[in-house]
């Protein structure tokens, strides 16, 4: 599989903000992999959240040696306001968020006036071709730059930068697509197995003559400042 790259440099944008930040949060740090690439630029007061239980311990093991505490928290996808963020008002002057859901109102509470929020998101309707090929595809149409911008503005932020990139994932063949889908179970129907979907997968194989398969890839990013 190969994928087109977005034209902005998120790590560079993070570094630019980190240069003047003292109290930093990385939301949904995963196993801390991306944050670890920035350790030389992080202030002493850096914390992370992680909400997917299998990753909480992974992140703690990875980040503890760097003095970064991992707090268990994730904004539920279906209702991002359902859980308050476990931080006091105005706790941070910079919040980073790569591919993680968030509550704009909770963010406005925990970011001090003048503080910044930088996020990159996966467009909620990317890979929509899977709906046609597999008969079903879970989409989150509200995850789009216009909606995120207006939600942030309504919650007390000014949006300083925003851009979207529509590109492609290209899979060498159906087998490569299946290898990928095993790693991203949220992209397939709940009952997905290769055997159960063999007819559809064979039809896709024949339609593409055993050659490459293209899925739409979407990313967008925003930089916002708390008023």
Length of the chain: 227
Phi, psi of 178 (to 5 degrees): -65, -40
- Contact between 34 and ligand SAM by CB under 6 A: the answer reads yes
Q: Report the residue from 6, 17, 100, 126 that binds ligand SAM according to the rule CB under 6 A.
A: 100
Which lies closer to ligand SAM via its Cβ, residue 38 or residue 134? Answer: 38
CA distances from 68 to 23, 125, 186, 215 (A): 12, 34, 29, 37
- Contact between 12 and ligand SAM by CB under 6 A: the answer reads no
- Contact between 119 and ligand SAM by CB under 6 A: the answer reads no
- Cα 201 to Cα 166: distance, rounded to the nearest angstrom: 25
- Cα 103 to Cα 85: distance, rounded to the nearest angstrom: 9
- Cα 12 to Cα 160: distance, rounded to the nearest angstrom: 16
- Contact between 30 and ligand SAM by CB under 6 A: the answer reads yes
Candidate segments 50-58, 106-114, 135-143, 191-199, binder of ligand SAM by CB under 6 A? 50-58
Is residue 192 helix, strand or coil?
A: coil
Q: Which of residues 185-224 bind ligand SAM (CB under 6 A)?
A: 185
Q: Which of residues 56-85 bind ligand SAM (CB under 6 A)?
A: 74
Residues forming the site for ligand SAM (CB under 6 A): 28-30, 33-34, 50-52, 55, 74, 98-100, 185
């Amino acid at each position: 599989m190969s994928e087109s790259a977005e034209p902005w440099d998120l790590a560079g944008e993070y570094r630019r903000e980190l240069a003047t930040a003292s109290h930093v949060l990385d939301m949904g740090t995963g196993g801390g992999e991306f944050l670890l690439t920035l350790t030389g630029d992080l202030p002493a007061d850096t914390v992370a959240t992680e909400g997917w239980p299998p990753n909480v311990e992974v992140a703690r093991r990875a980040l503890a040696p760097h003095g970064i505490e991992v707090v268990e928290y994730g904004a539920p996808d279906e209702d991002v306001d359902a859980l308050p963020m476990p931080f006091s008002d105005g706790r941070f002057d910079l919040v980073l968020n790569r591919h993680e859901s968030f509550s704009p109102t909770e963010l406005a509470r925990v970011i001090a006036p003048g503080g910044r929020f930088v996020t990159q998101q996966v467009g909620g309707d990317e890979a929509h071709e899977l709906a046609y090929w597999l008969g079903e595809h879970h989409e989150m149409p509200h995850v789009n730059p216009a909606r995120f911008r207006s939600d942030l503005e309504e919650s007390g932020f000014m949006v300083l930068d925003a851009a979207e990139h529509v590109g492609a994932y290209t899979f060498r063949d159906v087998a490569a697509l299946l290898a990928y889908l095993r790693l991203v179970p949220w992209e397939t129907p709940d009952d997905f197995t290769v055997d159960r979907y063999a007819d559809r997968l064979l039809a896709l194989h024949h339609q593409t003559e055993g050659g490459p398969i293209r899925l739409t890839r979407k990313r967008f990013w925003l930089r916002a400042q708390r008023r």
